[in-house]
């Protein structure tokens, strides 16, 4: 029963996580789609098809990979950073891709099991750089905000992983305690039955009766001897 309930719980968690990833990917694409110079935008200028397809590819690059952000958090972050560099070089709006980078940074901290210590280090480094820029260059104080936000995203993701691990450990401990309780109850029942059998066998030896007769007397059912 415990394993069955655990399996159903895992399936529910996977379904919820999948829906969450779909919502994240759809939200990021919805944010990036207005930046694509569609054929009907602006009405006075019809962009070339390769231009439209190129910007559409960039919008898809910062949304579709997030469907696998739990399995490949490092790859998703690298893709988002690459798109950020491209849009910066093209001098285009970076709001949507910046949001994608923050979500990917959170994903690295929350799901990058093998690189969690690097996410923690990157988080504190980002906060330190943001604070240093804000304190040192008064005229460029706002330049430290992106570093601070990036660092905070790493750290929030790392905290989410720590909380999830703690919850998982608590659930596993509860399951182990339940199994131990069931094992103790079975042990007590078997010990009681073995003790009863030993006492009945000892009584049979003392009275000289057959063990079956003693068992039948104890149970209230008389045992008939077979003739001969």
State whether 19 and 102 are in the same domain.
yes
User: Cβ(156)–Cβ(177) under 8 Å?
Assistant: no
Residues of the chain by 3-state class (helix, strand, coil), percent to 5: 85, 0, 15
Overall domain count for the chain: 2
State whether 97 and 179 are in the same domain.
no
In what helix (H) or strand (E) does residue 27 lie, and over which residues does it extend? helix 2-32
pLDDT at 141: 67
State whether 184 and 95 are in the same domain.
no
State whether 15 and 103 are in the same domain.
yes
Average pLDDT, the chain: 79
Query: CA-to-CA distance for 94 and 35, rounded, in angstroms?
Result: 9
DSSP symbols for 91-143: T---HHHHHHHHHHHHHHHHH-GGGHHHHHHHHHHHHHHHHHHHHH-GGGGGG
Residues 6+ apart with CB under 8 A from 106: 153, 154, 156, 157, 160
State whether 106 and 197 are in the same domain.
no
State whether 105 and 181 are in the same domain.
no
Q: What is the pLDDT of residues 19-60, one digit of tens each?
A: 889 999 999 999 998 888 876 656 566 667 788 888 899 999
Residue 135 lies in a domain: no
Q: What is the pTM of this model?
A: 0.67
Residue 88 has pLDDT above 70, yes or no: yes
How many CB atoms are closer than 10 A to CB 200? 17
Query: CA-to-CA distance for 165 and 186, rounded, in angstroms?
Result: 32
CA distances from 36 to 13, 50, 90, 121, 203 (A): 35, 12, 13, 35, 93
Residue 196 lies in a domain: yes
Residue 155 lies in a domain: no
Residue 164 lies in a domain: no
User: Cβ(166)–Cβ(175) under 8 Å?
Assistant: no
Residue 82 lies in a domain: yes
State whether 85 and 181 are in the same domain.
no
Among candidate residues 111, 135, 150, the one where a domain is terminated: 111
Query: CA-to-CA distance for 139 and 144, rounded, in angstroms?
Result: 11
Q: Which two tokens stand for residue 217?
A: 């007397």
State whether 102 and 179 are in the same domain.
no
Residue 193's domain comprises 175-219
State whether 7 and 104 are in the same domain.
yes
Among candidate residues 111, 136, 155, the one where a domain is terminated: 111
Query: CA-to-CA distance for 14 and 35, rounded, in angstroms?
Result: 33
Residue 100 has pLDDT above 80, yes or no: yes
State whether 24 and 104 are in the same domain.
yes
Residue 201 lies in a domain: yes
User: Cβ(175)–Cβ(2) under 8 Å?
Assistant: yes
Residue 112 has pLDDT above 90, yes or no: no
Residue 8 has pLDDT above 90, yes or no: no
Q: How far apart are the first and last CA of the chain?
A: 52
Q: What is the pLDDT of residues 171-206, one digit of tens each?
A: 777 777 778 788 888 877 887 777 777 777 666 667
Residue 106 lies in a domain: yes
Among candidate residues 95, 111, 127, the one where a domain is terminated: 111
Residue 62 lies in a domain: yes
Q: What is the DSSP letter of 39?
A: T
Q: Cβ-count burial of 27 within 10 angstroms (0-12 exposed, 13-18 middle, 19+ buried)?
A: middle
């Amino acid at each position: 029963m415990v394993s069955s309930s655990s399996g159903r719980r895992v399936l529910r968690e996977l379904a919820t996580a999948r829906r969450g990833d779909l919502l994240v990917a759809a939200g990021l694409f919805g944010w990036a789609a207005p930046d694509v110079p569609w054929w009907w935008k602006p009405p006075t200028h019809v962009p070339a098809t390769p231009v439209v397809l190129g910007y559409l590819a960039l919008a898809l690059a910062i949304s579709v990979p997030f469907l696998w952000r739990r399995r490949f958090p490092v790859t998703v972050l690298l893709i988002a950073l690459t798109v950020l560099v491209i849009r910066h070089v093209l001098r285009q709006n970076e709001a949507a891709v910046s949001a994608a980078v923050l979500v990917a940074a959170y994903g690295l901290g929350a799901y990058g099991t093998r690189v969690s210590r690097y996410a923690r280090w990157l988080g504190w480094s980002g906060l330190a750089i943001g604070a240093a820029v804000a304190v040192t260059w008064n005229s460029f104080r706002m330049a430290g905000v992106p570093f601070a936000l990036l660092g905070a995203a790493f750290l929030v993701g790392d905290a989410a992983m720590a909380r999830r691990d703690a919850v998982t450990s608590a659930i596993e401990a509860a399951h182990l305690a339940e199994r131990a309780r069931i094992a103790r109850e079975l042990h007590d029942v078997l010990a009681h039955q073995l003790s009863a059998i030993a006492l009945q066998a000892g009584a049979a030896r003392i009275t000289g009766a057959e063990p079956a007769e003693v068992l039948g007397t104890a149970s209230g059912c008389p045992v008939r001897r077979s003739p001969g």
